[in-house]
Structures are given as structure tokens and as C-alpha cells.
């Protein structure tokens, strides 16, 4: 057995806990999870059945943590997990799973398959079976500070641009601010309007906020690739900055997995509860709007729909907030079929969009989103995740669909009452 395989198998053993043991014990091989998976749904290939993606982890559980499995292993009756098998499974675990969590909602015995995929990736990464692109992104996140290689000067350039455009100062490293604002690489590079919108909204609401030079990046490749030690290092930067600046709340940007990383995994990675709150930007905007601290005037007349990013709605519980906000600014808001916690993934979550090898499959899986959008008959799609946004823009272009994709924060600012 190679040293890396041994490391991977040890990681498998380490991540198996009571929930995972109960999930594998309960599976009756009904295959219903396949019906919930966009990759199976759009290709019809049974290998994309979610529970099947966990087969190596299941065998390690059986051989190591059940009496019968141990006996079978002793007698040489069980099939050991090999490097070749993990190589075969790598595309199933990374390319064809966006960790969207839809399967976890439909499993009749309650298996949280997404939880297991997240855990399984720890062993895959440790055994050297993670996609090259994700390895690169994680390395950049750890060494440079951002998976896309963005450094603080790039953020500064955007800050200057925003300040020139809005005539509002963007606070940096302001101790005692209420909120620490994080961004995703995608927003820094592709969607600078996010920071501009925030500046205007926060000025109007009288919110005390700041950016941190050493913790501007919210995304966390560590949780996508399945390397908790690296994920901890990346989250740790935010925690250190939030504690140093004594903020009351950290705002996760319009990015799905970043929210999971800091809000739900963060305290567990750090091994301590946070002394500050973590909120998604939509939660903050909804609170400000409900409290009357931001007001809107007029409504968008375009028919539009909202795409629920999986990590924000299904895996994050932010479902009503975008609908309340859209209710205030959209005249003709139309729900997609399966909207809310059962929404279909854009296909690019969980590191899939960062994995160039997965692109053809991702575009194939996008067909379900295409149908959802077509049902609503709109040409404007609103969302709250920069990754979903870029993935959907690519998908829409691929299928020659004329649909604009916009972030909810920037849409809100178009109707913001300012200076009153």
C-alpha cells in the first residue's frame, strides 16, 4: 500500500462518525437519491447516483467499524479499497457532485449524503485523488490568500474605483466597526458592482463597517477539496481579523460555499464558538430593510425570477429574506418550479466550477436550470452567489439563452432611496 493511500484510508477512518455509520446502516439501495441529483437527472447515467459516489467510504466503514466486516477482512473475504479505485471514483466525488444537498432532502431513511461527500473528500484529498485545478486553487488560497490569486493591491484598486464612483469612503481596518465585510474573488474580479452597492446601502443605513486587509477573501477552497487543515487556516484569517477589529458581525458575501465555510464549518474548524455573529449579506439587507433603515422607491418592471444558491437556502436557511427583498423591488417576481429549499443547483457548486475537467458535464447538468428558467418565461435572473452567477452566465451563453443574471444586492441598490 502506498503512503498516500494509507493516508487517505486513515482520513476515511477518521471522518466516520455515528451519523455516517447510521446512514450506511440505513441505506436500502432504493436509488431515490438519483432522482434528486442533477448530474444523474440530466445524463441518465446510474453511476451518478449520489449514494454510489460513496462506495469506497462505505466499504472502509464496513471493514473497520462492523463486526461482520472485520471478520470478512480477517478472512480475506472483503475487497480492499485501492488507489486504482479511488482514481476511478475521483470524478464521481468531485466532478459530478456540487454538494448541493438535494439528495439529502429526499432520502427516505434520512441519509445526509452531502455530509458524507464532504467527509469523503478529506480522504480523497489526503490520498492524492483531488482534481488538479482544485489543488491549484487551494494552494493559491493558502499561499497568496485567494484561490484566484488576488492580492490586496487588486482589492485596493477596486476600492479606489468604488470611492471615485460613489464618493463614499470604503473603510479599511477600522477597529470597533459593527460589521466586517468579506468578498469573494469572483466579486473582486468580475462583479465590482457588489462593493459599490454595499457602500451606498451601508451609508444610507448608517451602518458601521470595514474591510480587513488581511482577511478580505471569504471563499474557502479547503472545504471544497476536503482539506480541513487548510480550510482552518483560511477561516482562521477571518477569525483573527474579526477579533482584532472587535467587530460584532462578519458578513459573508454573495457566495454560497463561503457562507458554509465561515458560518457553519468555521467554528468547528477552529474548535471554538465564535465571539461574533456571521450573517449572509441577504440576512443583513433584510434586517436593515425590515427595520426601516433602508428604504426603496419604485419597482423593477421586468419579469424576473430568483435562483436559490444551494449553500444559502437549502444548506444555509436563507430562503425568505431574498423573497421579502424582491417583494419590495420587483413588480413581476416569478418563482421557478422547485424554488426554495428544493431548488436545482446551477451545477457549479462544491468546486465543480473550479474544475475545468468537469465543464462538459456541468453544462449538461445545466439543462435542468435551463428548463426551470424557461418555465418562468423571464429574461432576468436574480441570485445571491457570484459563483452561481458566473456558472449560469456560462450556461445561458452555451444554450444561447438571452437572460441577464444580476446579484440581488446590486438590484436592490437600483431602487435605494439615497440622501433622505
Where does this chain bind another protein (CB under 8 A)? 16-23, 25-32, 34-36, 40, 44, 46-47, 49, 51-52, 65-68, 104-112, 115, 263-268, 270-274, 277, 313-317, 319, 338, 341-342
Q: What is the largest CA-CA distance in the chain?
A: 79
Nearer to another protein, 19 or 303 (CB): 19
Strands (E), 281-386: 300-306, 330-333, 380-383
Nearer to another protein, 131 or 309 (CB): 309
Least distance (Å) from another protein to the CB of residue 215?
A: 19
Residues 6+ away with beta carbon under 8 Å from 61: 16, 20, 21, 24, 69
Least distance (Å) from another protein to the CB of residue 386?
A: 21
Nearer to another protein, 95 or 265 (CB): 265
Q: Which of 161, 211, 165, 179 is nearest to 413 (CA)?
A: 165
Rounded Cα gap, residues 121 and 8, in angstroms: 9
Least distance (Å) from another protein to the CB of residue 104?
A: 7
Least distance (Å) from another protein to the CB of residue 18?
A: 5
Nearer to another protein, 34 or 405 (CB): 34
With b for 16 or more beta-carbon neighbours within 10 A and e for fewer, the 346-375 pattern comes to bbbbbbbbbbebbbebbbbbbbbbbebbee
Nearer to another protein, 158 or 376 (CB): 376
| CB of 310 closer than 8 Å to CB of 343 | yes
Nearer to another protein, 273 or 419 (CB): 273
Least distance (Å) from another protein to the CB of residue 297?
A: 31
Rounded Cα gap, residues 56 and 62, in angstroms: 10
Q: Which of 309, 251, 243, 306 is nearest to 278 (CA)?
A: 251
Least distance (Å) from another protein to the CB of residue 117?
A: 14
Amino acid at each position: 500500500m502506498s503512503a498516500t493511500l494509507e493516508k487517505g484510508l486513515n482520513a476515511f477512518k477518521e471522518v466516520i462518525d455515528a451519523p455516517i455509520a447510521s446512514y450506511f446502516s440505513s441505506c436500502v439501495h432504493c436509488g431515490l437519491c438519483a432522482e434528486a441529483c442533477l448530474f444523474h437527472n440530466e445524463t441518465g447515467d446510474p453511476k451518478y447516483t449520489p449514494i454510489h459516489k460513496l462506495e469506497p467510504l462505505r466499504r472502509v466503514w464496513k471493514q473497520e467499524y462492523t463486526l461482520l466486516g472485520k471478520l470478512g477482512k480477517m478472512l480475506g473475504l472483503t475487497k480492499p479499497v485501492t488507489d486504482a479505485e479511488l482514481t476511478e471514483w475521483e470524478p464521481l466525488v468531485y466532478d459530478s457532485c456540487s454538494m448541493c444537498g438535494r439528495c439529502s432532502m429526499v432520502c427516505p431513511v434520512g441519509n445526509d449524503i452531502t455530509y458524507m461527500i464532504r467527509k469523503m473528500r478529506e480522504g480523497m484529498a489526503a490520498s492524492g485523488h483531488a482534481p488538479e485545478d482544485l489543488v491549484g486553487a487551494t494552494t493559491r488560497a493558502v499561499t497568496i490568500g485567494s484561490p484566484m490569486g488576488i492580492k490586496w493591491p487588486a482589492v485596493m484598486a477596486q476600492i479606489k474605483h468604488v470611492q471615485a464612483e460613489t464618493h463614499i469612503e470604503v473603510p479599511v481596518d477600522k477597529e470597533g466597526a459593527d460589521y466586517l465585510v468579506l468578498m469573494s474573488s469572483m466579486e473582486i474580479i468580475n462583479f465590482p458592482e457588489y462593493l459599490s452597492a454595499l457602500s451606498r446601502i451601508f451609508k444610507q443605513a448608517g451602518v458601521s463597517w470595514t474591510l480587513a486587509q488581511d482577511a478580505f477573501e471569504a471563499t474557502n477552497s479547503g472545504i471544497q477539496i476536503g482539506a480541513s487543515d487548510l480550510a482552518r487556516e483560511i477561516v482562521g484569517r477571518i477569525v483573527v481579523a474579526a477579533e482584532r477589529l472587535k467587530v460584532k458581525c462578519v458578513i459573508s458575501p454573495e457566495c454560497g460555499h463561503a457562507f458554509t465555510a465561515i458560518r457553519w464549518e468555521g467554528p468547528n474548524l477552529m474548535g471554538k464558538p465564535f465571539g461574533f455573529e456571521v450573517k449572509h449579506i441577504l440576512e443583513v439587507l433584510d434586517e436593515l430593510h425590515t427595520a426601516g433603515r433602508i428604504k426603496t422607491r419604485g419597482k423593477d418592471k421586468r419579469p424576473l425570477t430568483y435562483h436559490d444558491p444551494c449553500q444559502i437556502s437549502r444548506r444555509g436557511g436563507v430562503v425568505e429574506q431574498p423573497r421579502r427583498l424582491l417583494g419590495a423591488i420587483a413588480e413581476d417576481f416569478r418563482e421557478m418550479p422547485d424554488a426554495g429549499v428544493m431548488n436545482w443547483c446551477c451545477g457549479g457548486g462544491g468546486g465543480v466550477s473550479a474544475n475545468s475537467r468537469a465543464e462538459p458535464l456541468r453544462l449538461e447538468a445545466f439543462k435542468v436550470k435551463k428548463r426551470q428558467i424557461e418555465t418562468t418565461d423571464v429574461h432576468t435572473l436574480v441570485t445571491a452567489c457570484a459563483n452561481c452567477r458566473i456558472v449560469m452566465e456560462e450556461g445561458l451563453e452555451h444554450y444561447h439563452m438571452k437572460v441577464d443574471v444580476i446579484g440581488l444586492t446590486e438590484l436592490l441598490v437600483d431602487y435605494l432611496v439615497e440622501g433622505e
